[in-house]
Structure 1
């Protein structure tokens, strides 16, 4: 189970940017000497995370109700053109973790990978490290006359310090994504057309975890600065202090935890083209709650209070100001009959501030001019069962229903300038996406499982069904009804050979598209534009294999195969992904 515990640590410290978190961060505690609740999800790797510390935390933290903030990795091939790094493509087999390594790989489609990580201790209580990751591809030269090449660079520094009262982590990261708006379907531009987009991100994050939980539990600070090729600028800052008093005796074997989350969230977005939208979002959040627990059963009762302020202006809209106070319910009950069967249910709500940075992580082809506003989850009711069968089978099955306002969806943009011209901006080929909002309800069913039949074999699977019912929109663009993921990891030959498999199935999605015809009756000549509001984007099956062989304790060779069925699917309409891919490389550990 050490592998699961290590993954939990990674998820805990890489929660920055979670797509489904509310303005007040979920509680995240690092508890290593107990079983983790089986929240089985693919977890985004963060190499700058704090290492697992044996016998941490002190006994004072051992009785907390543990929640982990996990990041859903988009269900797409690792080496797809539309987003090169859906998850860290480095071959990662966590049977024996080595912090210091360098690896390099090359494959078809001109894919090149260079990846390195180094860390060391300054003294017994201080560790520093650095991480660099580069990936590039020449793109789909046989599919498009114009360029679809991409490159991605990430570099980071981190420091971990351990004191008698708590643990401190700080990391600074720089990332650059350089790619093209290549998904052109309605026009046929020249091969040398300029379609370039480039996004730079700089982040500084800090976290302090107080051991005793007396008055102070933890403090987290997150900040980021984003800029792109079209003069967009965005700054974000988030601060959360979790005040607490834990392990208070209330009756016989029943104890109580008291918590108060105090959060501040700021987003400032300024766009430099078209309508030049500018948004300032501010949210102050208080989240008091009481948790009564006995063994593995507990009852949590609390609330979230949010004070939200928004300012917005553009070239076509006068300045708008809006302030509002929100109250959201929060309660959860877990009845633990045995480790094999636990029933849980609850209600929650929250305010999520949508940002350009977050939207680009989901869809890198957003236009650099958006009207941003938050998504309000008035309430979400959920029930489920989960369990851990003899540390061999972990499962989690749940169903939920939520009422939301301003749910965000992607939609394809039409031509911005309908006039026929020899030159166009990179984003004006009906090849970018905007954001649209609507109110409605969401029904969902989720199931996840992990199975450990052998010491060296891990099987996992996940199923998700989501259905929207909206007040105004006829279609929910780019939201599949069903998506599933299944995988396996197997080690053999004394863990010298590590094999991995991941399969992905996604049902059809709906998009909108545009048909352009020349109108010679106008001068200058323009395009007549016809919209199809029910464009189908086909579902797909994506199969991936990986293998790593340790020739020497410090030298390995690896081979990765992605989208092996050569499925020519699209993640967003017009944007075809890479076909079958094979990459080979070497890894040096030290």
Structure 2
């Protein structure tokens, strides 16, 4: 592990040295009175475009009064994610200039195929319509597993953007298909032709209206989705968010202004499962979040509250009666920032809230869940935090914070055993101790987070993130499948007049604790497995290095190459689920 980290450090240092040795004329030159403009790279144009003349002067002035510096305002430069076998999106997008009419196609080892495209047109009255397509597939690890470990995922979407006199409107619809296998079998040795397939479908419709002026009605958002899977699970979600506000109110104090805000959030989730315990859950949550924020220069004081009204019910075929939950919650909300200078802004506060956990959201974090889950909301009773952030000479942005939270029903993932102990390998796809279920416990979490972005040259951006989270649970000695420390280093560099774009991303993670199972044939009871559970198993940490290059041969034609997991380690994301080794993918991109 140390040797791999040393190799990674040398490679990243080499990239940095090359970047600093380039043409001197490319050094960063900025007006010191303004912030550097760093735009997030987006593939999908399913949100409202930032118009050249938007926001109007009135909206821009009022919004500036409510500006809270946050390191996430300057996103990480690289789009790389961990190169997991289930086909994480590694689409090659390194140009800061948005391209909204293009198609790209790539192929690589492990049978990887990438197809990605976007097309849009502007109609009369500033109405824009468009469509988006994305496909990624891999044959999996045929040398590591005798059984099928392939996956493919596809998304197709359509959107409409409209810009009126009073505000902007966006609506988008998206259909996503994920076809994969429960291939992480570690305790049994089944036949190569067993069926391990799982398939999920999710259809989403989102709408958004943003008023140019923060005068009473600020913006309205509507989110909805429907999910189904191969095993007849069904889940419907809907959420309405309304922001009411009055900004820039002058009060009789020297250079002090006030913003008044009221957030209204209505959310419902209905989940039904048809396997095992036939769990069902239905939740409706209404949240009111009033707050007042007082500004003086770049310092501010925010005081507010959160009120949640939860109505929920759960049921399964193991319960004799339905479990109901009707409860009202109050959460404290306050934050203060003292801006000693642009380089040093000290802040601290307290926060809390209620999060509804859905099957769809859990699958995004762990796709290897069995299609039968008990779903509960996670309550953050309170979270105290403090930190420091700043902008050093407009070339370094940083944010370092620490926090402590008291939580109920903390969500984590626990490995499942066999669902029946019959001595047979003729089993359902999820019945090889190869799936996980949501588990919950009350406790506390201590966190330390740090983020930094560095702009040494106009064509070079470096970034880094680090997160530490220590859980102390009431009923479990360890939290499962959550690492103690996760860190990343990234960079993006363009040269030759932005014809050549280079990217790098390195991801580090410490090991994780999990439970796991082993099985032996019973001696006294034939044809039955006896199980042994290890409640303190370890999944090793990893270092994952990713590099990229894209060269624009012509204004309408580019070639690209990607290298993922270049340290060539089959580390595991969850017990039994190894990722692809070193991956190489190349392709072409046509713009029109």
Tell me if TM exceeds 0.5.
yes
Offset at residue 448 of structure 1 (A): 0.5
Superposed CA offset, 1:305-355 (max 9, x none):
000011111101121111000000001111112222111111110000000
Which of these residues, 407, 424, 427, is aligned with residue 424 of structure 1? 427
Q: Quick check: 1:169 aligned with 2:173?
A: no
What aligned pairs does 1:462-541 form with structure 2 within 5 A after superposition? Answer: 462-523=465-526, 525-541=527-543
| Cα shift readout 1:40-70 (whole Å, capped 9, x = no counterpart) | 9x98854322222124212333333246788
Q: Offset at 1:177?
A: 0.2
How far apart, in 2, do the equivalents of 1:102 and 1:122 lie?
Answer: 22
The answer to which of 244-253 and 492-501 deviates more is 244-253
Instruction: Give the Cα–Cα distance (whole angstroms) in 2 for the partners of residues 360 and 588 of structure 1.
Output: 33
Task: Decide whether the 8 Å contact of 1:199 with 1:227 is kept in 2.
Answer: yes
Matches within 5 A, 1:7-18: none
1: CA distance, partners of 2:96 / 2:225: 33
Q: Which residue pairs with 1:336 in the alignment?
A: 339
Alignment check: 8 A CA contact 1:236 1:266 kept: yes
CA contact (8 A) 1:360 1:366 kept: yes
Structure 2 equivalent of residue 23 of structure 1: none
Whether contact under 8 Å (1:538, 1:569) holds in the other structure is yes
What's the secondary structure of 1:359's corresponding residue? Answer: helix
SS in 2 for 1:274: coil
Q: Given the superposition, is the C-alpha separation of residues 77 and 473 from structure 1 closer, same or farther in structure 2, using an over 3 Å criterion?
A: same
> What do residues 438-486 of structure 1 show as CA deviations (whole Å, max 9, x unaligned)?
1111111111000000011110000111101111111111111111000
Assess if the C-alpha contact under 8 Å between 1:514 and 1:532 holds in 2: yes
Gaps in structure 2 of 5+ consecutive residues: 1-32
The residue that corresponds to 1:300 in the other structure is 302
Offset, 1:252: 3.2
**Aligned residue in 1 for 2:388:** 385
Deviations, residues 393-421 of structure 1 (Å, cap 9, x unaligned): 10011111100000011010000011112
Would you say the 8 A contact 1:375–1:408 is kept in 2? yes
Matches within 5 A, 1:113-512: 113-250=114-251, 251-317=253-319, 318-512=321-515
Is this contact kept in 2: 1:77–1:542, CA < 8 A? no
2:19 paired residue number: none
Asked whether the equivalents of residues 76 and 504 of structure 1 are also in contact (C-alpha less than 8 Å), the reply is no
Whether the 8 Å contact between 1:352 and 1:376 is mirrored in structure 2 is yes
Separation in 2, partners of 1:226, 1:325: 29
- Quickly say closer, same or farther: Cα 1:75–1:273, change in 2 above 3 A: farther
Choose the corresponding residue for 1:571, options 566, 570, 573: 573
Matched with 1:27 is none
Contact 1:285/1:305 (<8 A) preserved: yes
- Report the secondary structure of 1:104's partner residue: strand
**2:12 matched to which residue of 1?**
none
Provide closer, same or farther for how the CA distance between residues 428 and 153 of structure 1 changes in structure 2, counting only shifts above 3 A: same
Contact 1:545–1:562 (8 Å) recurs in 2: yes
Do 2:77 and 2:463's aligned partners in 1 also have CA atoms closer than 8 Å?
no
2:80 pairs with 1:80: no
Paired with 2:37 and 2:76, the residues of 1 have a C-alpha distance of 17
Q: Please state if 1:580 is matched with 2:582.
A: yes
Q: How far does residue 34 in structure 1 lie from its aligned partner after superposition?
A: 6.9
The secondary structure found in structure 2 opposite 1:54 is coil
| Contact 2:177 2:201 survives alignment (8 Å) | yes
Q: For each residue in 1:241-292, what CA deviation from the matched residue of structure 2 results, as whole angstroms up to 9, or x when unmatched?
A: 1111111100332111111111101010000111000000110111111111
Match of residue 551 from structure 2: 549
Instruction: Give the TM-score, by structure 1 length.
Output: 0.91
| Length-normalised TM-score, structure 2 | 0.90
CA distance in 2, matches of 1:124, 1:387: 41
Partners of 2:210 and 2:194 lie apart in 1 by 51
| Aligned twin of 1:50 | 48
Q: Alpha carbons of 1:34 and 1:577: their partners in 2 closer, same or farther (altered >3 Å)?
A: same
SS in 2 for 1:60: helix
Q: Is the 8 A contact 1:176 1:200 kept in 2?
A: yes
Distance 1:74 1:555 in 2: 22
User: In angstroms, what is the RMSD of aligned CA positions?
Assistant: 2.1
CA deviation digits over 1:170-223, x for unaligned, max 9?
100000000000000011111100000000000000011011111101000000
Offset, 1:77: 4.8
- CA–CA separation in structure 2 for the residues paired with 1:201 and 1:494: 41
User: Contact between 1:44 and 1:72, CA under 8 Å: does it hold in 2?
Assistant: no
Q: 1:75 to 1:465 in 2, by over 3 A?
A: farther
The 1:73–1:549 alpha-carbon spacing in structure 2 relative to 1, beyond 3 Å, is closer
CA contact (8 A) 2:77 2:461 kept: no
Other structure's SS at 2:123 match: strand
Q: Give 5+ residue unaligned stretches, structure 1.
A: 1-32
- Partner SS, residue 360 of structure 1: helix
Matched residue count: 552
1-side partners of 2:549 and 2:412: how far apart? 37
Shift of 1:515: 0.6
Residues 261, 292 of structure 2: 8 Å contact kept: yes
Deviates more, 1:353-362 or 1:314-323: 314-323
CA distance in structure 2 between the aligned counterparts of 1:73 and 1:309, rounded to whole angstroms: 42
Q: CA deviation at 1:567?
A: 1.2
Distance 1:422 1:184, change over 3 A: closer
Aligned counterpart, 2:59: 61
